[in-house]
């Protein structure tokens, strides 16, 4: 159950102000169909969370606890670096001729695939031993971060200091990742 809460909070922070949130808001603006965008996003996010947690559960079976802890630390550290780094422009999928559900599903699935959130979910699943809890936590955290963007659209940026949240969370993730790495190497 700890992995559910940890993954929920991690994904909530890592997706706030991130490209997934921005694309979901842009698609909601473009299509004016929140239900279809929410359904497409929710299904895409669920598939990515299940996939990454299931894959992470195999890591736990193959290697001992210290390398798993190091993998966890690296996932968080690199997620923190990604949150602090410059981001390239986001493709708003305006050339896609599909409807709101399919555009949201495919666009957000592709965008989230291989993203920092997947590595965090996989690393937490490797540490937890039960892959379903990090999968659920990751999915709920992603939903909690992105759903307000779909509903509020461009107003979210006026309500929350997204840049400060990203910088603070990025620094926190870097510190936690380093701490996990130091534990894996038995420095602390």
Write the pLDDT tens digit of every residue in 76-125. 999 999 999 977 788 888 899 999 999 999 999 999 998 999 999 999 99
Whether residue 62 has pLDDT greater than 90: no
Give the domain range for residue 7: 2-184
State how far the Cα of 100 lies from the Cα of 164, in Å rounded to an integer. 31
- The per-residue pLDDT for 13 is 96
User: What are the pLDDT digits (tens) for 28-61?
Assistant: 999 989 999 999 999 999 999 999 999 998 877 7
State how far the Cα of 110 lies from the Cα of 90, in Å rounded to an integer. 13
Mean of pLDDT values over 121-148 = 95
State how far the Cα of 61 lies from the Cα of 64, in Å rounded to an integer. 8
Length of the chain: 188
State how far the Cα of 32 lies from the Cα of 117, in Å rounded to an integer. 27
- The per-residue pLDDT for 130 is 87
Mean of pLDDT values over 136-141 = 98
Burial of 108 (0-12, 13-18, 19+ CB in 10 A): buried
User: What are the pLDDT digits (tens) for 149-183?
Assistant: 999 988 888 898 989 999 999 999 999 999 999 99
Mean of pLDDT values over 16-34 = 92
Mean of pLDDT values over 123-137 = 93
* Total number of domains constituting the chain: 1
Mean of pLDDT values over 16-38 = 93
Burial of 117 (0-12, 13-18, 19+ CB in 10 A): buried
């Amino acid at each position: 159950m700890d992995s559910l809460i940890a993954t929920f909070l991690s994904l909530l922070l890592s997706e706030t102000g991130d490209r997934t949130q921005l694309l979901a808001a842009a698609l909601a603006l473009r299509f004016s169909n929140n239900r279809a965008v929410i359904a497409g996003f929710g299904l895409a996010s669920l598939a990515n969370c299940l996939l990454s947690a299931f894959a992470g559960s195999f890591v736990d079976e193959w290697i001992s606890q210290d390398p798993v802890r190091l993998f966890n630390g690296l996932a968080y550290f690199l997620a923190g670096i990604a949150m602090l780094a410059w981001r390239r422009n986001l493709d708003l999928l305006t050339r896609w001729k599909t409807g709101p559900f399919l555009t949201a599903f495919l666009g957000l699935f592709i965008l989230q695939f291989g993203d920092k959130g997947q590595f965090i979910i996989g690393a937490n699943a490797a540490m937890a031993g039960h892959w379903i809890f990090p999968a659920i936590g990751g999915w709920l955290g992603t939903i909690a971060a992105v759903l307000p963007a779909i509903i509020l659209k461009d107003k979210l940026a006026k309500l929350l200091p997204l840049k400060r949240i990203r910088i603070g969370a990025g620094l926190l993730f870097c510190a936690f990742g380093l701490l996990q790495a130091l534990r894996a190497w038995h420095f602390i």
